[in-house]
Amino acid sequence: MRKVGVQGFGEVGVQLHIFDRNQGNVAAAKAEVEKARQGLERVDLSLRDRFAAVTQSYRNARVVVERYHDEILPRAQRAYELMVTRYGLMTASYPQVLTVQRTLYQTETGYISALETLWMNSIVLQGFLLSGGLEMRGQADEMDLEPMPASSMFDRTHPP
């Protein structure tokens, strides 16, 4: 055999992506877009559901407040005034006056409770259902709101 100098081998290659077309990444991107679209639809349906529930609660509370304001409270106040007048004329006993007075106070307490419910729902609707924003997912669905302080800037005698 003859001696030949140093020998070596080299290889050069070029990859041609003729049929690949990046289909894996395209499919992943389409899946992400669909996931985002479904997430948007979920949030939309959730807000619609909450809006319907709060709106119904607001309407019910408004009807109750109006009924208290227009019918129940004036009747209870009138009954109390009549009983006090009868007591003054000595045709009614003092326990009867106390019973009517207790009924008047209970009616006023119910009215205040109805006003609170009305204002709470009004505030949630005015805030575009933004309640419980700092709660963990799942807890925000339950509407746990604290009562407004007595120094509220709202006039609670006139419902919104």
**Domain membership flag for residue 12:** no
pLDDT value for 19: 67
pLDDT value at 160 more than 60: no
Name the pTM for this structure: 0.60
pLDDT value for 25: 86
**Domain membership flag for residue 13:** no
**Domain membership flag for residue 88:** yes
132 sits in the region (left: phi over 0; alpha: psi -120 to 50; else beta) called left
pLDDT value for 60: 95
From the list 70, 155, 74, 55, the residue with the least C-alpha distance to 115 is 155
* 48 Cα distance to chain centroid: 11
pLDDT value for 149: 44
Give per-residue pLDDT as tens, 39-55: 999 999 988 898 899 89
Give per-residue pLDDT as tens, 123-134: 888 887 676 655
**Domain membership flag for residue 79:** yes
Q: What is the mean pLDDT of residues 70-92?
A: 95
pLDDT value for 20: 64
Name the residue range of residue 60's domain: 53-128
Q: What is the spatial distance between Cα 159 and Cα 119, in angstroms, rounded to a whole number? A: 7
pLDDT value for 110: 96
**Domain membership flag for residue 15:** no
pLDDT value for 126: 84
**Domain membership flag for residue 95:** yes
pLDDT value at 8 more than 90: no
The tally of domains found in the chain comes to: 1
Residue 63: count of CB within 10 angstroms of its CB: 12
**Domain membership flag for residue 1:** no
Cα angle, residue 120 at apex, residues 77 and 108 outer, rounded to 5°: 15
pLDDT value for 133: 57
**Domain membership flag for residue 124:** yes
Across the chain, what does the average pLDDT equal?
A: 82
